Amino acid sequence: RWLAPALVDALTARQPAIQLVVTEGSSAALAQQVTDWAVDAVVLSARRPIEGLIVAELFDEELLLVLPPSQVSAHNSDIDVEALCRLELLLPPPGSAFRPDLDAAAARHGIILHPKAEFDGLRLIASLTFDGHGASVLPATAIPGWLRHRCRVVHVRDLPPRRVFLAQRSGDHLRPAAAAVADLLQQVV
């Protein structure tokens, strides 16, 4: 939500001849597009190395509890991981996005998360939360500033950050336009 507009602005100012194409998807699907030669590079979150790809860390971002409008006054601005098990959360399915890290953090505290529903798509989860359908745990970048008044954002102690990487094929040199975009992306971050 914040990276694409900043990249478009930087690209327009510094490399106006390059046409940017942005495709959204899960990290696994995007990584497959790189290995299939469908795209040159991707921004993704990965917990372990992905065969055939090299990655460069872009940034870490905090995972935050987001409460819908109906629950705005229900919690402090800071909670423990254990408090998540008492909430009906909208979460990504097991094994996707940052869910493995979330489940591991819960297990370290002796709890199991029981989501209200699971959705494969952070934008969908965020939209459902902002529309009042349930609380969620979201990366900080998934919470646009213009919607923060419609929800309550709560820091969760002992929750690891989500790591975001730029990935490309191993042994492959990016074409000049893709290399220029990758360079600008790192500058924007």
Helix, strand, or coil (residue 172): coil
Q: Do the strands 78-80 and 152-157 form a parallel or antiparallel pair, or are they unpaired?
A: parallel
The whole-number pLDDT of residue 167 equals 94
Whole-angstrom CA distances from 137 to 5, 39, 151 are 23, 29, 12
- Write the pLDDT tens digit of every residue in 88-141: 899 999 988 789 889 999 999 999 998 999 998 888 999 899 999 999 999 998
pLDDT for the residue 75? 55
Q: Is the pTM value of this prediction over 0.85?
A: no
Tell whether the model's pLDDT for residue 5 goes beyond 80: yes
Query: Each residue of 80-107: b (16+ CB within 10 Å) or e?
Result: ebebbeebebbbbeeebbbbebbbebbe
* Structure confidence by residue, pLDDT tens digits, 46-66: 767 788 899 999 999 999 999
What's the pLDDT score for residue 74?
A: 55
Q: What is the mean pLDDT of the chain?
A: 89
> Tell me: the pLDDT tens digits for 151-168?
889 999 989 999 899 999
